Chain A
């Protein structure tokens, strides 16, 4: 196919030549916006179709995102009342008497804290070991891909795994034990432990990225001052990746707060917090309960409650929590972000 030629008369004037550069190299990056003097109208038809479809996809994406946000905000503000936030839910057919969602809100906070408390140390240890030690190499590579596999495992599979794991006799202290010695396996502790597997890959990825971006001379300077490797990790490296760790932790918390499958299977997804045993504090952890996600699930037309107004209100609160965590990520990592779409931020590695 011939290259389309343009008549000489309509050839646009050449852009002014750039200033001659010194041979020392380019100064900074080339400017991002290049004004290219070409019109889409001169393109081939297939190119034009592609170009239009691309614009359509981009605008549709914006429309979906903004649509979801506006719709949830509208419905949420319409149904959200302050007393919903401060009253416990009760089972009642009459929606005006079935209470608010104080207990699910507390459940969300509790499960998020338990999950992230378990996930963060393990993730930091794994990332530090892989970057700073990493011998033997095959083991490091194996652990790296192992975490990738955990990131790709469906949450419902993790939930069923938790159920069979924590019904073993040695984990009896974590949940309710029936008279015959059968372990129930469902409690805040067991659900939190499994939730840590959801958050672990995100904290790991963020920490590893941070450690890898520390230049080698920082470590060498520390060794030259006589610090051991362990002291270097503790006093030099980990403090300087604090921002990365917080980013990963905030993302992991958002992921935990938004997970439903593990709650339904491992926490019982009950309306209120049901403490188990007599030790204050531990009894809540050993008991079952629900979170905002399970509350929304149960109050949607698919669940038993079927109270869409309450589901909208709770979903709005949940969305606010998740967005606040994402906003925190932005505040922490403002300097480091290049495109804002780093894969480690979206839970993909």
Chain B
């Protein structure tokens, strides 16, 4: 047996072995989907589509699940996850929009306009921001930004205006969006820079030769041609923002509350909790069957969302292929 391993590998055997290892990746994805869907099924079965709606107070429902014991009844499975879904959508949407503007401008700056000394600083900075672990972002958010906002930005009037609905302490939607924007910007910048570099130089030089200024040539020719890359980057960053758990659970106030846009600017100070943050915070009570089914249901929603965003990013990138650029 060992002698057979020692003799030189035939091409066929090497190909089969490598192919089998590569296929294990697909097996992992299939298992992931199947296992999580099986575990999530009871929650969806007992709630139906009202799982996605708002019914009752979500935090009370989750607490009841923890106390429901090993044999929960159908009533224990009741969950209306809309506040959590709404919070996830809000943070993801705002972070992506702000991040898109911020990263597009920064990418143009890096590619075209930054003087050499600044470029030498900004490129390592982008890589630093990409490398910082999310727990450190969360630490800065909760120890620096949240106290600052709670003590200096939120006025006493704003606190009293909503004191019977929700107490404001500084941690909340606004801090979560700000930190999340910084977290997802590096990916978007990298993909946008790649896209801008892949546009043939001659196109922009043609525009310059026709007499437009450098900014307009960049904006109307290169950026427009690189649109697929920019969209792909934004979609990928959306997936990152969707799944961010630790940072959000630290800085967002951790309350299953749906912020009300009618509150005006106070809206951004109201505490929230996203799906991913709920999963990571309630993971310690996962042995209660009702809780377990609910958490896996949330994970399934996140998994399906991330899957479609991956698909969307792939579709968005297709037009770039016709310029003959890689990936």
* A346–B9 CB distance below 8 A: no
Binary CB contact string for chain A from 51 to 67 against chain B (1 if under 8 A, 0 otherwise)? 10111111011101110
Asked if A73 is at the interface of the complex by the 8 Å CB criterion, the answer is no
* B215–A47 CB distance below 8 A: yes
* A319–B136 CB distance below 8 A: yes
Given that A47-B216, A64-B182 are contacting pairs, would A261 and B131 also be in contact in the complex, using a CB cutoff of 8 Å?
A: no
* A148–B314 CB distance below 8 A: yes
Asked if A153 is at the interface of the complex by the 8 Å CB criterion, the answer is yes
Give bound CA distance, A110 to B260, whole Å. 45
Chain A residues with Cβ below 8 Å from B246 are 260-261, 264, 293, 297
Partner of B280 from the list A55, A156, A254, A318 (CB cut-off 8 Å) is A156
* B35–A264 CB distance below 8 A: no
Partner of B125 from the list A66, A133, A165, A322 (CB cut-off 8 Å) is A66
Chain B residues with Cβ below 8 Å from A197 are 28
For the residues of A in contact with B, the DSSP-based class is helix
* A128–B143 CB distance below 8 A: no
Asked if A83 is at the interface of the complex by the 8 Å CB criterion, the answer is no
Given that A301-B142, A343-B190 are contacting pairs, would A154 and B302 also be in contact in the complex, using a CB cutoff of 8 Å?
A: yes
Give bound CA distance, A229 to B125, whole Å. 43
- The segment from A16-24, A92-100, A307-315 that touches chain B is A307-315
Chain B residues with Cβ below 8 Å from A133 are 15, 18-19
Chain A residues with Cβ below 8 Å from B211 are 3
Asked if B31 is at the interface of the complex by the 8 Å CB criterion, the answer is yes
Given that A160-B296, A341-B123 are contacting pairs, would A230 and B9 also be in contact in the complex, using a CB cutoff of 8 Å?
A: yes
Chain A residues with Cβ below 8 Å from B32 are 153, 157-158, 161
Q: From residue 142 to 187 of chain A, which have CB atoms closer than 8 A to chain B?
A: 142-143, 145-161, 163-165
Total chain A interface residues with beta-carbon distance under 8 A: 100
Given that A47-B216, A62-B122, A143-B26 are contacting pairs, would A230 and B11 also be in contact in the complex, using a CB cutoff of 8 Å?
A: yes
* B215–A153 CB distance below 8 A: no
A55 to chain B: closest CB distance in Å? 7
Chain B residues with Cβ below 8 Å from A54 are 105-106, 108-109, 113, 215
Q: Of all chain B residues, which has the CB nearest A129? A: B18
* B105–A260 CB distance below 8 A: no
Chain B residues with Cβ below 8 Å from A293 are 133, 135, 246
Binary CB contact string for chain B from 124 to 142 against chain A (1 if under 8 A, 0 otherwise)? 1111111111111011101
Binary CB contact string for chain A from 99 to 130 against chain B (1 if under 8 A, 0 otherwise)? 00000000000000000000001100110111
Give bound CA distance, A161 to B33, whole Å. 9
* A146–B295 CB distance below 8 A: no
Given that A38-B213, A149-B307, A164-B35 are contacting pairs, would A58 and B118 also be in contact in the complex, using a CB cutoff of 8 Å?
A: yes
Asked if B21 is at the interface of the complex by the 8 Å CB criterion, the answer is yes
Q: Of all chain B residues, which has the CB nearest A65? A: B125
Asked if B320 is at the interface of the complex by the 8 Å CB criterion, the answer is no
* B185–A61 CB distance below 8 A: yes
Asked if B121 is at the interface of the complex by the 8 Å CB criterion, the answer is yes
- The segment from B48-56, B57-65, B79-87, B236-244 that touches chain A is B236-244
Chain B residues with Cβ below 8 Å from A149 are 29, 306-307, 310
Partner of B306 from the list A36, A61, A152, A260 (CB cut-off 8 Å) is A152
A338 to chain B: closest CB distance in Å? 8
Partner of A346 from the list B35, B130, B138, B296 (CB cut-off 8 Å) is B130
Asked if A2 is at the interface of the complex by the 8 Å CB criterion, the answer is no
Asked if B254 is at the interface of the complex by the 8 Å CB criterion, the answer is yes
- The segment from B157-165, B191-199, B261-269 that touches chain A is B191-199
Give bound CA distance, A260 to B214, whole Å. 44
Give bound CA distance, A318 to B136, whole Å. 9
* A150–B135 CB distance below 8 A: no
Binary CB contact string for chain B from 91 to 113 against chain A (1 if under 8 A, 0 otherwise)? 00000000001100110111001
Chain B residues with Cβ below 8 Å from A154 are 239, 242-245, 276, 302-303, 306
Asked if A189 is at the interface of the complex by the 8 Å CB criterion, the answer is no
Partner of B36 from the list A68, A164, A254, A259 (CB cut-off 8 Å) is A164
Asked if B230 is at the interface of the complex by the 8 Å CB criterion, the answer is no
* B214–A36 CB distance below 8 A: yes
Q: From residue 239 to 267 of chain A, which have CB atoms closer than 8 A to chain B?
A: 254, 257-261, 264-265
Q: Of all chain B residues, which has the CB nearest A147? A: B25
Chain B residues with Cβ below 8 Å from A300 are 135, 138-139, 142-143, 250
Q: Of all chain B residues, which has the CB nearest A122? A: B21
B294 to chain A: closest CB distance in Å? 12
Chain B residues with Cβ below 8 Å from A220 are none
Chain A residues with Cβ below 8 Å from B190 are 341-343, 345-346, 348
Chain A residues with Cβ below 8 Å from B31 are 161, 165
Binary CB contact string for chain B from 1 to 32 against chain A (1 if under 8 A, 0 otherwise)? 00000001111011101110111111011011
Asked if A221 is at the interface of the complex by the 8 Å CB criterion, the answer is no
Chain A residues with Cβ below 8 Å from B213 are 38, 42-43, 47
Binary CB contact string for chain A from 261 to 281 against chain B (1 if under 8 A, 0 otherwise)? 100110000000000000000
Chain B residues with Cβ below 8 Å from A66 are 121, 125
* A43–B306 CB distance below 8 A: no
Chain A residues with Cβ below 8 Å from B187 are 343, 346-348
Asked if B149 is at the interface of the complex by the 8 Å CB criterion, the answer is no
Give bound CA distance, A69 to B124, whole Å. 12
Partner of B106 from the list A58, A121, A163, A311 (CB cut-off 8 Å) is A58
B10, B39, B140 interface centre (most CB from chain A within 10 Å) = B140
Asked if A228 is at the interface of the complex by the 8 Å CB criterion, the answer is yes
Given that A125-B17, A153-B243 are contacting pairs, would A346 and B186 also be in contact in the complex, using a CB cutoff of 8 Å?
A: yes
* A69–B128 CB distance below 8 A: yes
Given that A54-B109, A58-B114, A71-B144 are contacting pairs, would A152 and B239 also be in contact in the complex, using a CB cutoff of 8 Å?
A: yes
Q: List 7 A-B contacts (CB under 8 A).
A: A42-B213, A57-B101, A68-B140, A149-B306, A165-B31, A265-B286, A343-B191
18 additional contacts (CB under 8 A) given A57-B106, A160-B36, A319-B136:
A47-B213, A58-B105, A68-B140, A122-B25, A125-B17, A129-B18, A133-B15, A154-B276, A159-B283, A160-B283, A258-B131, A260-B135, A264-B283, A265-B286, A293-B246, A296-B135, A319-B133, A345-B130
